[in-house]
Chain A
Amino acid sequence: MENNGNKHNILEKVTFYLGLFILLLLVSYLIFDFNKQKDLPAKLEIVTTYMPSMPNYTYKVETTNTGHETASSVHIGFDLYQKGQMVEKTVLSLDYVPRESTEEGWIIFRKTRMPSDSLVITSVSFLGP
């Protein structure tokens, strides 16, 4: 890479301008992001989807953080109701849900699925980054 003259070959020039471009892009993005931040905590949105294609009684859980901070140690509690009775409960734990990101998880119940089942999210807890 070292070249004491002012002449650089094409590979060095491409690498230099690529580096300069990435640096400027990232620095601009970070400055923009810094100005955009409003100290809002994490905000989690949870979507559950029954997965008939998977074995047993499985739900896919998508947790999206639309806030401005990463949520850590996320615990989401679920209760499964059949015929109006709570028959099973489970907790999904995620290490982190970064801001503006979605983490996927799966929960599996031992019960057999019934047409009138309902899945209730009973608690969501998380820590700051």
Chain B
Amino acid sequence: MRYNGAGVGRMRTVVKILAVIVVGTLLGLAATWFSVFRGTMAGGVSDGPWKTSLYAGSSAGGPYLRAVIAVHGLLALNRQETIYYTAATDSDGAALTGACRYEIAGRDPPTRWWSITAYGADDFLIPNPAGRYSVSMNSVARRADGTFIITASKDAGGAITAAKDAAAANWIALGGGPFSLSLRLYNPAPAVAADPAHVALPTIRKVRCG
């Protein structure tokens, strides 16, 4: 450091210390933001559009994993108890949006109980006058061969008017904006808990938009 007189030198040192504190703190917080808060859950596996984490509900081994679980899977149960799958895209990989109508087709997954629920971009249930937030193992209407088609759309439209009560049961209401789906499996079959990436889960097909 060049010597420019005691006052200026001390001034520079104070400015540098302040810069170290501000820049160091911001860098540290930014690293936490990117590694913990942004992005998704660690230990991710996918099954078609459905994603889940092997670590949800686990007693985490390490500060990073624990922080990520606290942010993305707070108060979740372990895999033997419940497996939580989330889909933010359809089966073709396009982002889910309430501007489109979707058909969720499949058959009952091997589990004691299941439900499919839609959430808005804020991760809360989507307001709708009919209160149609989810379809579950008990409420779904199946065809003779055991398969089902659930409609997810902003307006009931075809889902309710096209057919009888059966079709009306298979409707999840959306808002206008982006949304995601949660598929919960309660007390899943041991094979599902052991390998959640290879389960016959429902497909999500975009029918039309606008």
Q: Do A and B come from one complex?
A: no
Q: What residues make up the interface of A, taking CB atoms closer than 8 Å to B?
A: none
